[in-house]
Amino acid sequence: MRSLAVVVVLLVASCTKPNPVVCCTSPSDCNSLGVMDTSRPCTDGFVCIDHECSSAPPVDAGPACTMDTDCPSNSPHCSSTNECVGCVDSTQCSQNMPVCDSSAMTCRGCADDSECSSKACDMNTGLCISESTVLYASPDGADGAACSQADPCSITHAISSVDSTRATVKLTAGTYTPPLSVGSKTMVIHGLGATLTRAQSGYALTIGVGAHVRVIGLTITSTGPGIECGPVDANATPVPFLELDNVTVSADANFALFAYPCNFVASGSHFSSGMFSPALFIATPSTATIDRSIFDGGGIEAAGLGSVVHVTNSLFYNQDVGPGSPGPLSGKAFGNAGPGEAFASFSTFANANLSCGNVLPACAGGSGDGVCIDSSIVTSASGDAIQGTGCSVSYSIAMPQVAALNGTNNQVNVDPLFVGGGSYALKGSSPAVDAADPNAVDTIDLAGTPRPQGPRNDIGAYEYKP
């Protein structure tokens, strides 16, 4: 009898000790093993997963779990790696934060059309656009189709069907043949993966008087001109508004954009034009605001008094500087009107001479042709980088440069020290680093790097990131 009692005592004692192999984390979890303990913890360095003591996850991981009920409210879901996370898939996210980030395992706003079931993301808000408000078009869509995701219509029928209820046009991937014309309507065109191609004379896309249009992700190619924005009537109202977001426009033999008149905004876009033609011709009384964009052949001309162009964080290269070329950026007269105003900040003009008159430019309160630049880099393959004394230049690098510059705090005949190999980013030893106008405010460079990375913003389109 005594030996039996000893065995019973030993068995009871063993049930009260933490077992290095079998474990449980709560009374109900322990009961599922037939054990009456409130918990059976593992030794230090191990966690209880599926009733076995396993190596602990990294210190930055969420609590260990086997099911969602094991997780706290701020990380309510149990992942396949037995960590408590914000979400496992997008069905666990709200309308306000509709996407489950696969790396962070937390809900966030959408950043791409493909992340939404409607295939349309409002990237300004991070919200997925309701399918019921979207008109869907495909390259082979019929004019009589429903313009639904299941039954997409032609691009012309989708554009003509835009109204106050359905004001988003989603283009499925593929090639569309214009010409395409947008009348007096308000709409957003989602065109990532789609190409609008024009092989004949005339514009690929025309934005008419009273229109308010935003285009996202579309590629436009044309053997002639690209986009016309405006009725070619300076007195027509309301002036159309056009915004290009991550759009590529390539016009082989003419303007990528002709604005007359038009209020134009571009970000993250890429422009090129034909020989001796500016990529963007902004005619009076138009305005243009360009940020984080690339001009690969063909620049911008602010043409005529009342035409105003502002450029930030942009790159100009492969600029044609032959006879008649307006150069990468200019303020010029147009018809009987005086010169337009052209401003550039935090931009890089690589092998692209800026051409100025010898009179203070309109952008600086004068009456001459030219530009006003600050915190920018201008280099030239031949001759002065900035030609003519009329430009207003401050906190910028010009190389080579013999003629005096009209402005202060410039670095003349100083190599900006680009990374090279086709990149115009800065080396860490560049004189442009921490040398921009200390009073100029800018937050994100051409590559998306936050400014400043050091005590002060860097000169040029790219912020050096250590």
φ/ψ (deg, to 5) at 13: -65, -40
Question: What integer pLDDT is reported at residue 59 of this predicted model?
Answer: 40
Quote the CA–CA distance of 120 and 106 in Å, as a whole number. 21
Q: Is 121 helix (H, G, I), strand (E, B) or coil?
A: strand
List pLDDT tens digits, range 336-388.
888 999 999 999 999 988 988 889 999 999 998 889 999 999 999 888 999 88
Lowest pLDDT segment from 186-195, 207-216, 268-277: 268-277
The yes-or-no verdict on residue 397 having pLDDT over 70 is: yes
List pLDDT tens digits, range 402-418.
999 999 999 999 999 99
Q: Look at the alpha carbons of 146, 149, 154, 156 in this order and tell me if their dihedral is positive or negative.
A: positive
Q: Is 159 helix (H, G, I), strand (E, B) or coil?
A: helix
Question: What integer pLDDT is reported at residue 47 of this predicted model?
Answer: 63
Q: Around Cβ 44, how many Cβ atoms within 10 Å? A: 6
More confident position, 248 or 334: 248
Q: In whole numbers, what is the pLDDT of the chain averaged over residues?
A: 88
More confident position, 92 or 357: 92
DSSP 42: P
The yes-or-no verdict on residue 2 having pLDDT over 80 is: no
List pLDDT tens digits, range 215-236.
999 999 998 899 999 988 877 7
List pLDDT tens digits, range 37-59.
667 777 665 666 667 776 654 44
Q: How many helices (H) and strands (E) does the chain have?
A: 3, 42
Band (pLDDT 50/70/90 cuts) for residue 325 is low
Q: What is the mean pLDDT of residues 165-183?
A: 94
φ/ψ (deg, to 5) at 132: -70, -15
Band (pLDDT 50/70/90 cuts) for residue 185 is very high
Q: Around Cβ 5, how many Cβ atoms within 10 Å? A: 9
Q: For the chain, give the percent of residues with pLDDT over 90.
A: 69
Cβ-contact 208, 231 below 8 angstroms? yes
Quote the CA–CA distance of 393 and 141 in Å, as a whole number. 52
Band (pLDDT 50/70/90 cuts) for residue 28 is low
Q: For the chain, give the percent of residues with pLDDT over 70.
A: 86
List pLDDT tens digits, range 101-159.
988 999 999 999 999 999 999 988 999 999 999 999 999 999 999 999 999 999 999 99
Question: What integer pLDDT is reported at residue 414 of this predicted model?
Answer: 96
Nearest to 216 by CA among 186, 241, 185, 247: 247
Quote the CA–CA distance of 188 and 310 in Å, as a whole number. 23
What is the separation of C-alpha 33 from the centre of its chain, rounded to a whole number of angstroms?
Answer: 54
Quote the CA–CA distance of 52 and 35 in Å, as a whole number. 15
Q: What is the mean pLDDT of residues 279-284?
A: 94
CA angle, residues 358, 359, 363, in degrees to nearest 5: 120
The yes-or-no verdict on residue 33 having pLDDT over 70 is: no
The residues pairing with 207 across neighbouring beta strands, listed in sequence order, are 182, 229
List pLDDT tens digits, range 423-453.
999 999 999 999 999 999 899 999 999 999 9
Q: Which helix (H) or strand (E) holds 440?
A: none
pTM of the model: 0.83
3-state helix, strand, coil in the chain (%, to 5): 10, 35, 60
The yes-or-no verdict on residue 210 having pLDDT over 70 is: yes
Interacting residues of 217 by C-beta distance below 8 A, sequence separation 6+: 113, 190, 191, 192, 193, 194, 245, 246, 247
Question: What integer pLDDT is reported at residue 31 of this predicted model?
Answer: 61
- Report CA Rg, the chain: 31
The yes-or-no verdict on residue 272 having pLDDT over 70 is: yes
The residues pairing with 301 across neighbouring beta strands, listed in sequence order, are 281, 330
Question: What integer pLDDT is reported at residue 274 of this predicted model?
Answer: 74
